[in-house]
Amino acid sequence: MRKLQVGVVVLTALLAACSSSVTPVVDAPAMTLDSKAEFVPGEVIVKFKEGVSAQGSSKMGIQASVDRTLGGGEVVLKLDGFSKQGLDEVATPETSAGKAVLAAIAKLQAQGDVEYAEPNFIMKANAVPTDPYYATYQWDMPQMNLPLAWNVTTGVGSPVVAVIDTGKTNHPDLAGRWVTGYDFISSSTAAKDGNGRDSDPTDVGDGGVCSGQTYPNSWHGTHVAGTIGAATNNGVGVAGVNWNARISALRVLGKCGGSTTDIADAIRWAAGIAVTGVPTNPNPAKVINMSLGAYTGSACPSTYQNAINAAVARGVTVVIAAGNDNKTASGAVPANCANVVTIAATRKDGGRAWYSNYGSVVDVAAPGGETDDANGQIDRDGDGYVDGILSTLLNSTGSSYNYTFYQGTSMATPHVAGLVSLMYAVKPTITPAQVESILKNTARPITSTTCNVGCGSGLVDAYAAVNSAKSLP
């Protein structure tokens, strides 16, 4: 079975019924459409009440002719001045052709002999990225219902997502995604870049000997960033949750990890709060991704909680990994802090991943994948590849770029952070409390047979969450 790295080569009817008698006029509600709704120019679908024929449209102030009759008895009215054509040209509520169609519908709806009148809407296949690895390997995106969500928004106008992690790299599938970030690692030894805090958040690697054990470079922040916003629909690599993401890399994890003090300062700076000795953040975030933590068994440290509270007060949603200890997340820091969205991990079949923390602290779950456990590699569906989350990465030395499967609540968290940024895209005024409430209320429950220890409100549903955010007043 291939565990894998995949190399860079590697998602009508309308007329009306009008007899010679006067047709009574009734009040009809105006049709409300999204400004980008697409329909066939010059065509209206009309269903007349039983016994009424499609004739006399001119008597209703409409110049049109019947183009065809549908199987359900509806007729398609073709407005004068519009020729028969394919779907390469469309009308929307804001075009002149669209306004003509809607005006005709309004007149028809006001007639007592008309059951209903509506545009001939144009349907399209659910948004499917052209990125070559999407269809084959990125099971995680459909699992959380992202294809339907992408029909609503791909993130245009979304806010900055701050990734508090190992820093950024020049992976080509992340080109154009990075905005100003910062290196918050105080220790030059941990930073491995020859100095302490500085304005360059480049990930130079976090490998080394820690407590007698040698660890390879993880390029963890690059993998997380790829899930949030890898360049999408570009025919290269993988797809990101947000096709128009702007990501700020805040480097806090270096050799052997990172400290509470550095991470707390990064949280504040991400939210646009002044931090002593650090320049003002020119690109404050509205979403913070924290795919990090430790199982301390303690309550949330006040240093974390105070920083989180300050960020949330600025309207920032903080999304945090529940941890990979297969324990109750109540002992995992900072997952157990208040005012955050804590994320558990699901596996390929939608159940809880074997390693994911759980319990009352968890808010929702998202795809985290499984690559291996104590018994070896995991390939539940037998497709020849491990069931992990595929995203952007580098080789062990950082000399080349690739795509690699990882597992963890660290991988689940950016799925939600990316989704939250889509929610802000459709409703910029949404609050962190509303974000959390919507994520919970729209999540799909995970059955007790696949998570009997507590996976929050269930698996996030991107389509339902984005629509719910969009409908907020």
Q: How far apart are CA 13 and CA 122, in angstroms?
A: 14
Q: How far apart are CA 20 and CA 16, in angstroms?
A: 12
3-state secondary structure of 45: strand
Give the end-to-end CA distance of the chain in Å, rounded to a whole number: 51
Sorted by sequence, the CB contacts under 8 Å of residue 174 that are 6+ apart come out as 168, 222, 225, 226, 229, 230, 231, 247, 392
CA proximity to 147, closest of 241, 248, 230, 21? 241
Q: How far apart are CA 41 and CA 278, in angstroms?
A: 56
For the CA atoms of 128, 132, 138, 143, the dihedral, rounded to the nearest 10 degrees, stands at 10
CA proximity to 202, closest of 185, 227, 224, 226? 185
The H or E element containing residue 391 is strand 389-394
220 counts as catalytic: yes
Structure tokens at 178: 């990075």
Is the CA virtual torsion 174, 422, 224, 141 positive or negative?
Answer: negative
Catalytic hit among 158, 171, 220, 356? 220
Catalytic hit among 67, 113, 140, 165? 165
Neighbour count for residue 433 (Cβ, 10 Å): 11
**Residue 22: burial class (beta carbons within 10 Å; 0-12, 13-18, 19+):** exposed
**Residue 448: burial class (beta carbons within 10 Å; 0-12, 13-18, 19+):** exposed
Peptide bond preceding 41 in cis form (omega within 30 of 0): no
223 counts as catalytic: no
415 counts as catalytic: no
The b-or-e profile of 92-125 (16+ CB within 10 A means b, else e) is bbeeebbebbbebbebbbbbebbbbbbbbeeeee
CA proximity to 312, closest of 396, 395, 202, 430? 430
Catalytic hit among 218, 410, 421, 457? 410
Sorted by sequence, the CB contacts under 8 Å of residue 244 that are 6+ apart come out as 154, 155, 156, 157, 158, 229, 425
The answer to whether 284 and 271 are in contact (CB under 8 A) is yes
Q: How far apart are CA 67 and CA 84, in angstroms?
A: 9
Catalytically active residues are: 165, 220, 410
